[in-house]
Chain A
């Protein structure tokens, strides 16, 4: 095959970056004082990259805490950001809705990464709904260049209007690589604290005017977006359709319909409705191409726009060039099921294969949780009966215990990973100690000393910070004892397999209230840690 093109000298410094790397570079160049978050595919690499670039980055126990810390940084006049996956924003939503009222003194950007098609998630919720519900601006990049540009713009908008800003990423932006040209970095904002209870203390008397201020800000931002927002018009061939789109859908649509006219929206909330309606009226046929929910199509229809949306079947999963072609052609032929690939599985040598073998052997009903160990639900182990969201294993396990006939209730165990335990298990454990089922309960913490599924990030139990400096590891046994759990023990799932089986059988049969920690490092993380610290493995 011939070389596609001869080498061209690059006019400007250009970099080939993943969307997550580009967002991190954007935050660094925006002068962000601190980045915090909780790992979650596809957002996980942003903070590691920000740290590598010299930024102050940390892993919080969960997304709510991350958003709160970031808000505190922004109250101190500096620029902060928090990273999370789409379901993480559910956890941080409590902060978001009221931070929208309070506003910020510096800047606060929340980077939220959706996972249409659920490559590595339990649902494919559409984060754009949060921008509408909380009343905050949202920017949606379509490639790495925009991930960089929109990150910087998000900080600028946040600082200008004193409002938190959402940056909506998706798997195909986070984990796709494309070329970016960066700009001059901005100087950081010097921290300061101004006592202003009117904006910082959201009691009803302050929150009522704050809600009005929020709506006034949004009206101003909407007007700015109409005139000066990061929205692109592309002229089309005569008679070609006009496509209104945003995010990676734009890239698919440009390729699927090279002759079409485009109105590509960069700031999707508050949307540039007037400009979009004018575009729709300027073409013979206006089609909205968007991934997941018909958020944009509904908004344009509600505003009186004569537009076409996608048939319902395209609401599920990711879009692609082929699917956009089908939407434009009105082709609703059922799509073939995806080919049978090898499903992900627990790693060879994962110590927790052994943990689940014992749990299964004792005939337990397993209320599971989110992490690598969720893969134990797959055959041949098939050792998980429920899995919903971070921390749910404990609450769901307790509900089952409360309700099932005694013989079944006493077989219920909750299983949670170490990072998930700090994320959302502490309150579940308090519930277990407080509203204890008549048959007691058993919580098994699978401690592999890392947040393994998302790429081995540290957490409050590992003894390390994100930047590799040592931290004080929090002790699971001490937590359990402080919460009045009677039976608390730690086992090595490989070396102490028999002792664990005996203890678990005893706890189930004798209806004890027990927390068992099965501690053995993730095989992948152990290698990485040895490499980093120079320790012998």
Chain B
């Protein structure tokens, strides 16, 4: 322990998972463990010298098949604050189009002996497939419409810090549920922590069987927001959706955009969240997005803490 005096992981029992692919793989106590670890990471980012040497000598590769400035920077900063060597590989032109399969890419990267791969991919299950072909830890930074586990963890941490608890709350997730990995990870995580979950969306943006994943399903925003403690808005891929999944942005905003009038149905102290990047005027009124109820910038801050905690937990567990 003399080498790592500032480690926070030493206070926690070893984390038993090798990868973080899906919230569904985590037991309730593991979710709480990760949140508690993340809580300890928050002050690290707030102090003047924002570093812990716990991952010194470790190599982290961020492999993003889909561009994402925000998530990639968050993982990069998290790794660097823990002292890891962080390499970013943005696969802008898909390497599949150059004839290299995901499995080939995995084999190539594996030969460089990284300690952790942080992977985002457009196809559900791609990160899991990659994890089967490498010898290091793999963190899912979003795979298609499947999962985005660190987003759900940072959302939970944000909720817990604002509300003082998670269990017993009512959380509404609103918007394009059908295509959202954020919604799936959140429903799984909140469900595991005994939160009442509601999904609110037009029927065509609700995936089949959603009633088995959420406590309640609403198609009316005002009905659905009644008495909720947390309002989570989802990004609408409006470039793709317009004319196909919804007739127009203005109609969507009228019925499903979060404005003061609709927010008034939620509890008076309800907080507003958004995983970003936001479409102001599409799914959310700019005045709400930047208003006093919004905790959206806190989510970004908690994102770094959660990712530090996940990296630390996976890699120090690996050591043990």
Chains A and B bind each other: no
B interface residues with partner A (beta carbon < 8 Å): none
* Chain A residues close to B by CB (< 8 Å): none
